[in-house]
Amino acid sequence: MTVLDSAGLRGVDTTAGLVNQSDPKWSITAASQKSRPKTSAMSTAITNALTANNASYAASFTKGDLALPPAKKYLVLTCMDARIDPAAALGIELGDAHVIRNAGASAVDALRSIIISEQLLGTNEILLIKHTGCGMLTFTNKDAYAIVSENLGADASNIDFLPFPVLDEAVKNDVEFLKKSEFVPDAVKISGWIYQVETGKIVSVV
């Protein structure tokens, strides 16, 4: 197997995720989406705060010589949910592992990044971690298509947003998908977990 061992590969996992905006727990309304103009890159309160934080981080940064391949040769696939911090929850140190995030911790959506992680950068274990209270449990594709149409006037019916109705079954299905994939070697260890946002604990599913 050919594995990259120097700088030169950059992979970005792009994803899309929607929520049921009729649910009162979601704060973004259709009206606010419609009225939000597209803007060019510029300073905002968010970017100002983040760049200030980055300046503090960079001032004491000492790990610029880490190797490109993850040192512990595993990857974590989890959700993009803002309540999850995989590094803190699992004790992942900088340079240890790949962390792939998308809406719902979808193995189907992450397959491109998983292949790159294993075939080019040498990982040999996958921890797939979905979580309680996931937004992907709250809508169907039909709901998503209606929301996109109402908000944007666009037809998203050719997109599978990969929602799921039952959490533990979704974990099992994604693990099974990876085990059956021709792009994931049989030797790769794969496990499925649920992160409890209420307690911070992970629970083994499969």
Annotated binding site: 79, 81, 131, 134
Known binding-site residue numbers for Zn(2+) = 79, 81, 131, 134
3-class SS letters over the chain:
CCCCCCCCCCCCCCCCCCCCCCCCCCCCCHHHHHHCCCCCCCCCHHHHHHHHHHHHHHHCCCCCCCCCCCCCCEEEEEECCCCCCHHHHHCCCCCCEEEEEECCCCHHHHHHHHHHHHHHCCCCEEEEEEECCCHHHCCCHHHHHHHHHHHHCCCCCCCCCCCCCCHHHHHHHHHHHHHHCCCCCCCCEEEEEEECCCCCCEEECC
